[in-house]
Amino acid sequence: MTSRHPSVSTLLSFVLQCVILLPIVGCDSTSLCPPTLPVVSADASLSSHAIQMLSHMPPNSDDRCLGICVVLEAMLDGEPGGDSRNCDDFARQIYHDALRGCQVQYPRDVIINGQLWAVESPESLERLSTAITDAYKHDCAVLLMSQLGNERLWKASTSFVMSIRELDHILDQDPDHVDAFCCVGIRRFPDGTLKESHHVVLIQKGPDGIKRVYDPNDPGRPFVCHLEDEDTRVSIEWTCKSPRTGSDTRQVYNIVHKDVFLSKLRLALENSE
């Protein structure tokens, strides 16, 4: 009898942002919703702190999208608290607090190789996101050592936001209406090639109700997105550049709220001990 779950090696690729095997609601092999979606400017209602943090989003490399979005979202919702901290120690705190849904107190500066850097600087965000990603990959590898951990991680990764209304509620509850979401879907390249994809992005809702995506694959600017309610999932689509080819790609995803995914990841880790 064939298991409905992928093999351990396949799921490890999934959680490290490689190929996954899920049907994508609202997508087929010939079209991905609207053909063109415009680039928009940052929402003027965002605070100067939020605009600065989002403009400093590090570019994705080595599958660091989760670490990038977790650190930015933590800094957006966190509170200042102290002068300086070791950068790697602070990264561990961010990840630990994110697993538990806790607010972060962030220092004014972090120490990297004996040198002080402003915590919101590109250099600090680069180092923080790398350390968080390393911790996340380690935890996933621990879970994948057992079939039960495999199944729990799979369930966490597919706990989709069910509707636009639910997405609105999540974003309305956030102080700056920006939150991180894990994305499961398909990326389409200009030559028509389709690639199944797992990704993490920030989504922001403006006072006008418009949703903007901040994508580590094409950082520094927001992208307007198209949303559709389909069955028991919401689908989201936008167009941005591929970090590997530099060409515009169109992607359509189903999304999982970062807090839901990390909470289930934490419970799976605690139950594996």
Backbone conformation region of residue 271, classed left if phi is above 0, alpha if psi is from -120 to 50, else beta: alpha
In a domain, 141, yes or no: yes
For 128-165, what is each residue's pLDDT tens digit? Answer: 999 999 999 999 999 999 999 999 999 999 999 999 99
In a domain, 210, yes or no: yes
Picking from 129, 183, 128, the residue whose alpha carbon sits closest to that of residue 14 is 183
In a domain, 49, yes or no: yes
The pLDDT of residue 186 is above 90: yes
How open is the CA angle 191-251-239, to the nearest 5 degrees? 85
Backbone conformation region of residue 82, classed left if phi is above 0, alpha if psi is from -120 to 50, else beta: left
Give me the chain's average pLDDT, please. 86
In a domain, 72, yes or no: yes
| Helices within 144-205 (DSSP H only) | 147-157, 164-173
In a domain, 3, yes or no: no
Mean pLDDT across 179-196: 94
The pLDDT of residue 238 is above 80: yes
In a domain, 1, yes or no: no
Query: What per-residue confidence (pLDDT) applies to 40?
Result: 58
Expressed as residue numbers, the domain containing 100 is 8-272
C-alpha atoms less than 13 angstroms from C-alpha of 155 in its C-beta half-sphere: 13
Provide the pLDDT confidence category of residue 46 given band limits of 50, 70 and 90: confident
Mean pLDDT across 235-259: 93
Residues 6+ apart with CB under 8 A from 219: 57, 58, 59, 60
Q: Count structural domains, the chain.
A: 1
Sign of CA dihedral 30, 33, 34, 39: negative
Q: Please give the model's pTM, rounded to 2 decimal places.
A: 0.85
